[in-house]
């Protein structure tokens, strides 16, 4: 792979009904890195992932995945990557072992029984191998789905919101496994809505309305956003939200526990926006550091809606 990039694509574009759901996306991920792919629902994350793994053909753009051409080598890419879909896609009326054996058959793995045994042990599924997949909890289904992705020893994992609907303990165990895989040299592109998961990634890409709005490490993204943030604490904060959001200079207003974060890029404009409430006796105002959620909410507020453009 050139420059040891597991993913190296430029200008990826996919249109449906005249709307670019993925619009000129450029993405590079080095081998052995965990890249968090963030964005709101409908932002183009799943479509991008499906183009990367050879399930969809881009309308425009070019590049490589594991050194293979995205368009010319799509069938080979599908055999070399592990793709975990948003929804559990295995057979619920088969046992864990039967599902993995079926996947091993699809990939025509030699020594199929040994491959299944290794995978069961690797993911901690051996003691449950006879259990029906349909009887598993969300966390165990997730673990089985990851096991199925790893059966053929891929060097790249594409995980589409893999922790949606599972409990915090299962999410933490899942991320421990992801970091262990990355330590083995496996590259991971994982889409997520959870900020605590984003913080566990080596680097991040934020996409909204089909366009990449930010990329880099957590520290780089927060720094480059150059947000000014005020935190306000006190009673009855809810009535402040609507007028603050409507005030000039305010990009985002978000609740964090018993505080609101009010963010903008122009310090003077933001000061003017919060001025009507600065001296309220029941409120305490202070400057605070921006966090990822402040940044992403603010980026989304700035981004043009691709659907609105197509419908106009």
Whether residue 164 lies inside any domain: the answer is yes
pLDDT tens-digit series, residues 227-239 = 999 999 998 899 9
Whether residue 156 lies inside any domain: the answer is yes
For 68, the token pair is: 């293979």
The residue behind tokens 């990939």 is 107
Specify whether 167 is located in the same domain as 235: no
Using 50, 70 and 90 to split pLDDT, how confident is the model at 305? low
Q: How far apart are CA 119 and CA 99, in angstroms?
A: 12
Nearest to 56 by CA among 16, 18, 88, 27: 16
Number of H helices, E strands in the chain: 12, 14
For 66, the token pair is: 């594991």
- CATH number, position 18: 3.40.50.300
Nearest to 160 by CA among 46, 243, 274: 46
Specify whether 73 is located in the same domain as 171: yes
Whether residue 100 lies inside any domain: the answer is no
Q: Which of 190, 216, 242 is the last residue of a domain?
A: 216
The 156-160 sheet, strands edge to edge: 81-84, 156-160, 187-192, 34-38, 203-208, 211-216
Q: How far apart are CA 14 and CA 51, in angstroms?
A: 9
pLDDT tens-digit series, residues 204-235 = 999 999 999 999 999 999 999 999 999 999 98
Residue 14 domain boundaries: 2-91+152-216
Specify whether 257 is located in the same domain as 203: no
Whether residue 268 lies inside any domain: the answer is yes
Instruction: Give pTM, 2 decimals.
Output: 0.89
Whether residue 104 lies inside any domain: the answer is no
What is the total count of domains within the chain?
2
pLDDT tens-digit series, residues 94-111 = 999 999 999 999 999 999
Specify whether 209 is located in the same domain as 279: no
Our measurement of the distance from residue 129's CA atom to the centroid of its chain's CA atoms, rounded to an integer in Å, reads 30
């Amino acid at each position: 792979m050139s420059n040891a990039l597991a993913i190296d694509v430029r200008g990826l574009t996919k249109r449906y009904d005249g709307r670019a759901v993925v619009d000129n996306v450029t993405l590079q991920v080095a081998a052995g890195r965990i890249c968090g792919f963030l964005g709101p629902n409908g932002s183009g994350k799943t479509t991008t992932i499906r183009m990367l793994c050879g399930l969809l053909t881009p309308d425009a753009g070019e590049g490589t995945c594991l050194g293979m051409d995205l368009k010319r080598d799509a069938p080979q890419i599908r055999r070399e990557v592990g793709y975990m879909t948003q929804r559990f896609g295995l057979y619920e009326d088969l046992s864990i072992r039967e599902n993995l054996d079926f996947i091993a058959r699809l990939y025509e793995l030699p020594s199929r029984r040994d491959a299944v045994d290794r995978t069961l042990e690797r993911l901690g599924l051996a003691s449950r191998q006879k259990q029906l997949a349909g009887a598993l909890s969300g966390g165990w289904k997730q673990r089985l789905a990851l096991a199925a992705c790893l059966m053929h020893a891929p060097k790249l994992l594409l995980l589409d919101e893999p922790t949606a609907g599972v409990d915090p303990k299962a999410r933490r165990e899942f991320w421990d496994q992801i970091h262990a895989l990355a330590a083995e040299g496996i590259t991971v592109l994982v889409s997520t809505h959870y900020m605590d998961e984003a913080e566990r990634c080596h680097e991040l890409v934020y996409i909204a309305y089909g366009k990449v709005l930010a990329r880099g490490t957590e520290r780089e993204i927060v720094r480059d956003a150059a947000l000014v943030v005020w935190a306000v604490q006190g009673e009855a904060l809810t009535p402040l939200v609507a007028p603050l959001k409507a005030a000039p200079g305010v990009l985002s207003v978000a609740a964090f526990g018993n505080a609101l974060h009010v963010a903008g890029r122009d310090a003077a404009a933001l000061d003017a926006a919060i001025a009507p409430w600065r001296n309220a006796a029941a409120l305490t105002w202070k400057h605070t550091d921006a966090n990822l959620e402040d940044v992403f909410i603010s980026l989304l507020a700035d981004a043009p809606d691709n659907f609105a453009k197509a419908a106009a």
